[in-house]
Amino acid sequence: MFSLSQLLGKDDKFYDLLESSAEEALTSTKLLTNYLQRMEAYRTSSDLDDFIQNRRKDKKITSRITEELCRTFVTPLEREDIEGLSLALYRIPKTVEKLVERLSIYPGRVPRDGLVRQAEFLTKAAEAVVFMVKQLRHSPSIDKITEANDRLQHAEGEADKYMLELLKDLYRGPYDAKETVILQELFEMVEKSIDRCRDAGNVVFQIVLKYT
């Protein structure tokens, strides 16, 4: 058992900002699920304001972290760890926004149920990331972080398996060559968002390992 704040000084603002960024990442995944479930109601670029605002809000948090790092002499975590985690978290809503932009302009048939299932795996991964980030301000045991990281890795693994099922159905389905290429790219963008969650979780895991 250890206390990062005891080792390196206590400054809750960095924990507050990192946790806020993680929450925005999770929000983006929930927005995605809602978007997919109501896809026929959206399907225009003008209806993407929620995603744009979510990503902009997280970008402001990321910029604030950078500013505070410049102003603060003693930080509760190593500077490169704060920067690395901040960047990893920001990439989650940024990737989700890019995915929805592509969906909003695609005029063809979309296998909505498959994408919704992928988004569910993404949300599970993001929830694990939020939990891990929130543990940093306390005295996290390696066991607790490992358990959360295992949940994250499991979500990623299940998403990988499901991705293969989606691709198999896609290749055998009633899609022409152009549709197949576009839909495969959309599936891969969801998968990339899950990978972004994994990257953020790995940063947290490595931070905790430093002090055990």
Domains detected in the chain: 11-210 (1.20.58.220)
Residue with tokens 């948090």: 61
pLDDT at residue 31, rounded to an integer: 95
- Which residues are CB-contacts of 1 (< 8 A; sequence separation ≥ 6)? 139, 141
pLDDT tier for residue 5 given thresholds of 50, 70 and 90: very low
CA–CA gap between residue 179 and residue 158 (Å, rounded): 25
pLDDT at residue 139, rounded to an integer: 77
pTM confidence score: 0.89
Three-state secondary structure readout of the chain? CCCHHHHHCCCHHHHHHHHHHHHHHHHHHHHHHHHHHCCCCCCCHHHCHHHHHHHHHHHHHHHHHHHHHHHCCCCCCCHHHHHHHHHHHHHHHHHHHHHHHHHHHCCCCCCHHHHHHHHHHHHHHHHHHHHHHHHCCCCCCHHHHHHHHHHHHHHHHHHHHHHHHHHHHHHHCCCCHHHHHHHHHHHHHHHHHHHHHHHHHHHHHHHHHHCC
pLDDT at 88 over 90: yes
pLDDT at 3 over 60: no
176-203: per-residue pLDDT in tens?
Answer: 999 999 999 999 999 999 999 999 999 9
pLDDT at 2 over 50: no
pLDDT at residue 9, rounded to an integer: 45
38-85: per-residue pLDDT in tens?
Answer: 876 555 555 689 999 999 999 999 999 999 999 988 898 999 999 999
